[in-house]
Structure 1
């Protein structure tokens, strides 16, 4: 068992969804500057009661940036369901296990983050939700990797999803 799991097995866990949003020609990624973490990140947050995970990611992108995103189609595991009694929903690009540091509001805890690959029009008007974010930007692969203070997972996604 990895040390991160062993050391945090008794931590409170929250389900979250994040929208890793790229533009249509895959040259830019939408990032917010997170106030609490002081880092550039994709928009995301807690999955609300009765909410489907990919819809939570889409909602968070819209709430934090004003940009309307859609899931990038993934035909790799299409089950060809008829949508009568069961339906296939977009699957996460990745599942992350993240330690969230103690804050004024909460103890150190875990986010089980469902990362969704989304697409949006980079000409859509950006309207940042300044209650939670300092800034919102479309960022190129090179600048994200070389210049922005972010997490390795965000850089890794940019390397795999954005064109050079």
Structure 2
């Protein structure tokens, strides 16, 4: 599985020097033989792999008001030992939003490394950002234990001051993908 995860990371074309540095750091971490997945909540090991997946409908993105982080975040979850990050997307899509995948999960668009905040603050999430095409009129059944609410935001109106510190960069990259330079 380590080589498959390495392949996911290596497939990402960096947006900028920040992402290039995150990718280089992540590849070195993978190659070090360190445990990549969280094996005990909340943060053992203190650096572990996460699959974010952003539901996208034209210029709208779905974000969740995450209870523990007190932020508006993309949906996602920790990659389990032996699980491919794309399988994490399918599992978490069901668990968090009550949806089934309708198309294969494509390669991640972005990778970020972030220090967590909120109730379980202080560890590092290495996050693969996947894009899932969705329909914002489709009903969602979200996990009320984990989220206060879910909401579609126009990309230009996303609550950046209360979100993942890399969300703006992700939205820029997503926009660039839609409208190649």
Could you tell me the TM-score, scaled by structure 2's length? Answer: 0.63
User: Highest Rg: 1 or 2?
Assistant: 1
Q: Deviations over 1:101-143 (max 9, x none)?
A: 484xx67221111111221122221111011000011111122
By percentage of residues, which structure has more strand?
1
Give yes or no for the alignment of 1:32 onto 2:45: no
Q: Does 1:114 align with 2:146?
A: no
Structure 1 gap segments, 5+ residues each: 74-89
| Structure 1 residue 12 corresponds to structure 2 residue 28 | no
Alpha carbons of structure 1 residues 62 and 40: separation in structure 2 relative to 1, 3 Å: same
1:139 alignment partner in structure 2: 153
The structure showing larger relative contact order (alpha-carbon pairs under 8 Å, at least 6 residues apart) is 1
Structure 1 residue 70: deviation in Å?
5.5
Change beyond 3 A, Cα 1:132–1:107: closer
Count of residues paired in the alignment: 137
Deviation at 1:47, TM superposition (A): 0.7
| Corresponding residue for residue 56 of structure 2 | 22
Unaligned runs of 5+ in 2: 1-17, 30-44
Match of 2:78 in 1: 46
Please say if residues 22 and 29 of structure 1, whose CA atoms lie closer than 8 Å, have aligned partners that are also in contact: yes
- Label 1:120 to 1:22 Cα distance change in 2 as closer, same or farther (>3 A): same
Where 2:124 maps in the other structure, the secondary structure is: strand
How big is the alpha-carbon RMSD for the aligned residues of Structure 1 and Structure 2?
A: 3.1
**2:71/2:162 contact within 8 Å kept:** yes
Q: Does 1:93 align with 2:106?
A: no
Specify whether residues 31 and 108 from structure 1 end up closer, same or farther in structure 2 by C-alpha distance, changes over 3 A only: same
Contact 1:72 1:117 in 2 (8 A): no
Shift of 1:13: 1.4
Task: Write 1 or 2 for the structure with the bigger share of helix.
Answer: 2
Q: TM-score, normalised by structure 1?
A: 0.68
**Structure 1 runs, 4 residues or longer, greater than 3 Å off:** 67-73
Aligned-partner Cα distance in 2 for 1:138–1:102? 23
Query: In the TM superposition, what is the alpha-carbon distance from 1:62 to its structure 2 partner?
Result: 2.9
